Amino acid sequence: MLNALPEPDANNINELADALSETLFDSFDSGYYLGMMSGTSLDGLDAVICQFDEDDGAMDNGAKNKIVATHTKDFPANLRSVLLALCQPNGVDELADIKVNGEQQPQSELDWFGWASREYAEFASEVVAELLEKSAIVADSILAIGCHGQTVRHRPLLGFSLQLVDANIIAERTGISVVTDFRRRDMAVGGQGAPLAPAFHLAQFGTASDNELTKDRIVVNLGGIANITVLPAGQPDKVIGYDTGPANNLLDAWYQYHMAAGTITFDEALYDKDGQWAATGTINEALLAQLLTHPYFERPTPKSTGREDFHLAWLTEQIALVEAAIATSISAADVQATLTLFTVQSLAQAINKEAERLTLTNGELVVCGGGAYNARLLSLLNDAMPNWQVTTSDTLGIAPTWVEAMAFAWLAKQSIMGEVGNLPAVTGASKGVVLGQVCFG
């Protein structure tokens, strides 16, 4: 609801415009926003309702803003299969057994993209409805939905990134304005379009309860891909962030492949809970060294990556190269153990590089994303970074599961408010820009 407008001079149209603008943006600054995120792990769609009122300062635990309600839902099996296939060039060739709308079979990658965009949006609309019902918040109270969609092709070196979702459907089904397509405006000004979360990390975790960090903080997101946001104490102008390499995507892909093949049997069907399977294996140093030769690790920043660089086919090629060299096979459990350390080593290399560049000797590593719940992964990270305090975003008021969804609620607010949403030092953009496109409800 807009505040009552002051009575301007009837002859002063500029005063009227200023009054309208001020009250309009005030009304969008502190209301409810809904954020939605499905990452490269593709384990489901996370959604949160947030309230942003940054003028009130940070909370006692150092975090700003708050999450009001949360919800997550697994993807329907067919939709997940199609999304995974679309993440790889010509991956849809394997979808011959999936029929849609009864008997209709899409004939090309573009057909599958169009179908999945619609299905993703219908599914997202269901998630929104369930979250609203769960929270007892009416749709009219939500100022906007920030929906990242599903990245199916991220090619910053070619100048594009594709996120699959039809915002028109979500807006129509929910009656709420929807902000999507967050990456391409950054790319239009020379950026990578990723990672986008560091801007939110700076806003949310870049201050303490006294409004200034007293120790260095690095936010570590362990989603499908790992990325870092370096927040040097007292130096907000030195913030940098980028993707460091794979996190859960290879671990999950290898686990799911062997679960489907019957090689292993655990309670969880999609991921190695707490690294239980990895803990049964032995790290293969030759394989670890081979994995770390991936050219991505030597690329200069800014940089970002995804399934295009790190995927199951690439992994099996690396295993074959090492097995040929050592003239023996590597057990599946040993591969999982090695992949877990691979995530940690590539992450630690990046953190140490930035710590040396900025003369950081210790501080906090704040872990978020699904990998924050992998006890084996966090134990190895502790071992690799003995001078840093490894904790999770729980200590700053947000459960690791919800940080990325909250980031896109915040980015939606930035878009609606006409505020910058990218960090040029992170993405490589030539300037800060307002991100996203709005489909009004």
- Tell me which CATH code domain 198-400 carries: 3.30.420.40
Thinking of the domain 29-193+419-439, which architecture would CATH place it in?
2-Layer Sandwich (3.30)
3-state class (DSSP) for residue 286:
helix
Query: Chain-wide mean pLDDT for the chain?
Result: 89
pLDDT at 414: 97
Work out the percent of the chain whose per-residue pLDDT is above 90: 76
**Comparing 29-193+419-439 with 198-400, is the CATH topology the same?**
yes
The region of weakest confidence among 26-35, 41-50, 77-86, 87-96 is: 26-35
pLDDT at 264: 86
CA separation for the pair 34, 52 (Å, rounded): 11
Q: Is the pLDDT of residue 363 over 80?
A: yes
Q: 33 forms bridges with which residues in the sheet?
A: 50, 144
Structure confidence at residue 312 as a pLDDT band (50, 70, 90): very high
Q: Where are the domains of the chain?
A: 1-28, 29-193+419-439, 198-400
Write the Ramachandran bin of 266: left for phi over 0, alpha for psi from -120 to 50, otherwise beta.
Answer: beta
Residue 437's H or E segment, with its range, is strand 437-439
Provide the edge-to-edge strand list for the sheet that holds 45-51.
Answer: 66-73, 45-51, 32-37, 142-147, 178-180, 437-439
What is the widest separation between alpha-carbon atoms in the chain?
87
Q: 225 forms bridges with which residues in the sheet?
A: 246
